[in-house]
């Protein structure tokens, strides 16, 4: 416990010192250096890369977005890392610009994990770092537990590791909201909910506090493409459900916590925001189950760490990834 707490403090202090003003964020993201459609079980995925390829100094990093049913748009601020390594972003099947067969037979955790190796092969990457955010954290955890030879570093960012723990965190955080908002959230899950606008307002209060505390940047707001069909809510509801506080989908009994002990702990980082839906205290407990793993907490950030504190998040990742590169 003591070691994890000390590393947490180092992560907080280091990130704060390296922070830049929000006004320094770019007005637009760079165009992809390369785009392709990678064939995976079930269809083809949109993949984009920026930055230098695999080298003796810096290995590529692939980032797995949240959802289920989300897109790579939530991770675009990680492109700041492309000044020294290849950054790989992609849309999971049935989301964003990837194929959308909308076949529930494809909507399994194992199949989403199976997307990674075909992407790596399509890009000709020998070794890489893997970062999974939110639902993508479950994908990254399952991939890392296989100990693939290609994996140089694993980042579980604001991760879904256990549905039971996720719901426990959500309900604990709900208890920090004003009593009236708490009551509305409970009523909104009942058989006789209040008007939809009232439920939307209550959910919005929760999201403002623990999901995304800062407005979307101009770059995020203007990042569009005619082939991008956005978030797939059918997929989200099928695998998760309709509420942050109750899971009724296929992930309702998911528990990846037993996999933590089998990870390469010294090459594993758990990364969360100070106000994250995936609470730091829970992430700390998970980190302790993977000997040698580190915990980083991004000050001021909620669940959308790349949006709320992009400079602090990429600065922490930059330093940690460099250390992993030097270990090989």
Which CATH number goes with the domain that contains 79? Answer: 3.40.50.1820
Structural domain of 29: 2-327
pLDDT the model gives residue 6: 34
Percent of the chain topping pLDDT 70: 91
pLDDT the model gives residue 24: 62
pLDDT the model gives residue 4: 34
Q: Quick one: pLDDT band at residue 189, thresholds 50, 70, 90?
A: confident
Nearest CA among 108, 61, 116, 107 for reference residue 84:
61
Q: Which of 51-60, 128-137, 235-244 has the lowest mean pLDDT?
A: 51-60
Strands across the sheet containing 268-273: 34-40, 43-50, 87-90, 61-64, 128-133, 151-157, 268-273, 294-298
Q: Alpha-carbon distance 179 to 182, whole Å?
A: 5
pLDDT the model gives residue 25: 74
Mean pLDDT of the 105-120 span: 98
Q: Which of 223-232, 252-261, 295-304, 316-325 has the lowest mean pLDDT?
A: 223-232
Angle between helices 179-187 and 196-210 (to 10 degrees): 120
Q: Is the pTM of this model over 0.85?
A: yes
Phi–psi pair at 76, nearest 5 degrees: -65, -30
Q: Quick one: pLDDT band at residue 307, thresholds 50, 70, 90?
A: very high
Question: Do the Cβ atoms of 85 and 72 come closer than 8 Å?
Answer: no
pLDDT digits (tens, 9 = 90+) for 250-299: 999 999 999 999 999 999 999 999 999 999 999 999 999 999 999 999 99
Which residues are marked as active site? 134, 276, 303
Report whether pLDDT(2) > 50: no
pLDDT digits (tens, 9 = 90+) for 50-106: 998 655 689 999 999 999 999 999 999 999 999 999 999 999 999 999 999 999 999
pLDDT the model gives residue 12: 43
Q: Quick one: pLDDT band at residue 26, thresholds 50, 70, 90?
A: confident
pLDDT the model gives residue 78: 97
Q: Quick one: pLDDT band at residue 44, thresholds 50, 70, 90?
A: very high
Mean pLDDT of the chain, nearest integer: 91
CA angle 295, 116, 237 (to 5 degrees): 80
pLDDT the model gives residue 243: 84
Our count of domains for the chain comes to 1
pLDDT the model gives residue 14: 45
Who contacts 96 (Cβ-Cβ below 8 Å, separation ≥6)? 46, 70, 71, 72, 73, 228, 229, 230
């Amino acid at each position: 416990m003591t070691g994890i707490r000390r590393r947490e403090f180092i992560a907080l202090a280091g990130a704060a010192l390296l922070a830049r003003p929000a006004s320094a964020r770019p007005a637009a993201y760079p165009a992809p250096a390369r785009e392709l459609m990678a064939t995976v079980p079930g269809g083809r995925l949109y993949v984009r890369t920026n930055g230098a390829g695999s080298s003796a100094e810096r290995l590529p990093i692939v980032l797995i977005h949240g959802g289920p049913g989300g897109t790579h748009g939530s991770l675009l601020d990680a492109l700041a890392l492309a000044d020294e390594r290849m950054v790989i972003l992609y849309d999971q099947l049935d989301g964003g610009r990837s194929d959308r067969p909308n076949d529930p037979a494809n909507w399994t955790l194992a199949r989403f994990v199976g997307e990674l190796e075909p992407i790596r092969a399509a890009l000709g990457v020998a070794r890489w770092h893997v970062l999974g955010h939110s639902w993508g954290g479950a994908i990254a955890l399952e991939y890392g537990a296989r100990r693939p030879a290609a994996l140089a570093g694993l980042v579980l960012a604001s991760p879904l590791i256990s549905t039971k723990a996720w719901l426990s965190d959500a309900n604990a955080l709900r208890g920090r909201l004003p009593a009236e908002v708490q009551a509305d959230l409970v009523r909104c899950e009942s058989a006789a909910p209040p008007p939809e606008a009232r439920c939307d307002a209550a959910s919005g209060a929760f999201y403002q506090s623990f999901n995304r505390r800062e407005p979307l940047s101009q770059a995020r707001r203007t990042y569009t493409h005619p082939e991008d069909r956005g978030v797939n809510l059918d997929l989200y509801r099928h695998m998760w459900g309709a509420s942050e506080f109750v899971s009724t989908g296929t992930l309702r009994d998911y528990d990846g916590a037993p996999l933590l002990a089998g990870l390469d702990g010294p090459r594993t980082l758990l990364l969360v925001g100070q106000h994250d839906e995936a609470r730091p205290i829970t992430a700390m407990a998970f980190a302790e189950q993977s000997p040698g793993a580190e915990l980083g907490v991004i000050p001021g950030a909620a669940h959308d760490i790349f949006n709320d504190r992009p400079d602090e998040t990429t600065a922490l990742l930059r330093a940690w990834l460099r250390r992993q590169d030097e270990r090989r």
